[in-house]
Amino acid sequence: MQGAHHGVVAGLAVALGVEKMPEEEVQRGGLAVSIADYEGPCRPLTLSGFENRSKGGFGQRAVRLQRSSPEIGQRPIENWEKVSIGTEIKTARPEPPELPLPDRPAPPRLVLIRHGQSTWNREHRIQGQLDPPLSEDGRRQAELLAARLARRTFAAHFASDLKRAFETAEIIGAAVGMRPVPEAALREIYLGEWEGLRTDEIAARYPEAWARWVEEPDWNIVPGGEREAEFDARVGQAIDQILAQHSRGDVLVVTHGGVIQVALHRVVGKPSRGLFPFRIQNASMTVLERSGGRMVISGVNDVAHLEMSLVTERQGLGDD
């Protein structure tokens, strides 16, 4: 009789969609469910109760259902009394058909990359539009970033034509299979008489202007330099032209810290002036994307690809 109990409970397990019936659950004399039969109201089901109820309509239909519904690709189980308690009983669940996805073009994203460390970054000299090359660490930074981007697809690849940016772009381009397009409009701001000097040299030669800069940075303070409005307009026009040419996909733009600051300020609706509220390290990635007809910031200063020993720890005037 115990074998009959086991067989009946195993059949019920499948009828209720229970894939495994623990033996200790049976030994407690009941199941944690209630079912209704044709012969009476709903009440807890026990082994003895189910033995009687299985003679009614529900029990007979449940057993018939399981005997006629084997898993796809398997033969039906002929003798349910031989199915031991705890046996895993699988039911067939057909996979939903694959639905074709609509062909929605990806909105454009600008992947703004600051160049790797230059020889003057290492010496903390003001670069502006002067043209020092990458340092050895800077090339290594560019290689680490290139390895991170190697398996991605890009719609276009632009770069400032200054050495430190274009060398970075060439290293990345070799990894992604794209030659960078040089764009003079992506150059760093022109810093006039301060270019080539360290900050201590500027303080000694231009004490009044330097004191004003320290109190409140402003591009317009720099003697002989590019004015704030001119710089913002130049960078804004370059970004708008790139977006006009590439209405979808990811676009690589290898440039400078000041240019990326202007791009971020445009999104938040503020002039760049000379402030550095965003930390933009060498070989970092900053991502802007179009969403709902406007540009949004989706990532700033991503340097996850860099070894900590290579990450520039400070940024300000002279580190651009």
Average pLDDT over residues 91-111: 60
The domain of 293 spans 109-310
Q: How confident is the model at residue 226 (pLDDT cuts 50, 70, 90)?
A: very high
d(CA 120, CA 128): 11
Task: Count other Cβ atoms within 10 Å, centred on residue 320.
Answer: 25
> Do 137 and 39 sit in the same domain of this protein?
no
State the maximum Cα–Cα separation within the chain, in Å, rounded to a whole number: 105
* Residues that are catalytic: 115, 256
**How many structural domains does the chain have?**
2
**Torsion on CA atoms 127, 131, 136, 139, rounded to nearest 10:** 100
> Do 117 and 47 sit in the same domain of this protein?
no
Is 28 a domain residue?
Answer: yes
pLDDT at residue 67 above 80?
no
| pLDDT 10s digits, 171-185 | 999 999 999 999 999
> Do 75 and 187 sit in the same domain of this protein?
no
Average pLDDT over residues 241-249: 93
Average pLDDT over residues 123-144: 96
pLDDT at residue 210 above 50?
yes
Note the Cα 257 to chain centre separation in Å: 22
> Do 71 and 118 sit in the same domain of this protein?
no
Handedness of CA 67, 71, 77, 82 (dihedral sign): negative
Q: How confident is the model at residue 320 (pLDDT cuts 50, 70, 90)?
A: low
Both tokens of 203, joined, read: 């303080």
Residues 6+ apart with CB under 8 A from 118: 127, 132, 133, 134, 135, 138, 163, 164
Q: Which burial class, exposed, middle or buried, applies to 180 when counting CB atoms under 10 A from its CB (0-12, 13-18, 19+)? A: buried
- Compare 71 and 203 and report the one with higher pLDDT: 203
Is 95 a domain residue?
Answer: no
> Do 185 and 251 sit in the same domain of this protein?
yes
> Do 122 and 188 sit in the same domain of this protein?
yes
Structural domain ending residue among the three candidates 82, 117, 139: 82
SS3 255: strand
| pLDDT 10s digits, 2-11 | 454 444 444 4
- Compare 230 and 90 and report the one with higher pLDDT: 230
**Terminal-to-terminal C-alpha distance of the chain:** 86
Express as a percent the part of the chain with pLDDT over 90: 56
Residue 108 near residue 249 (C-beta atoms within 8 A)? yes
CATH classification at residue 226: 3.40.50.1240
> Do 77 and 147 sit in the same domain of this protein?
no
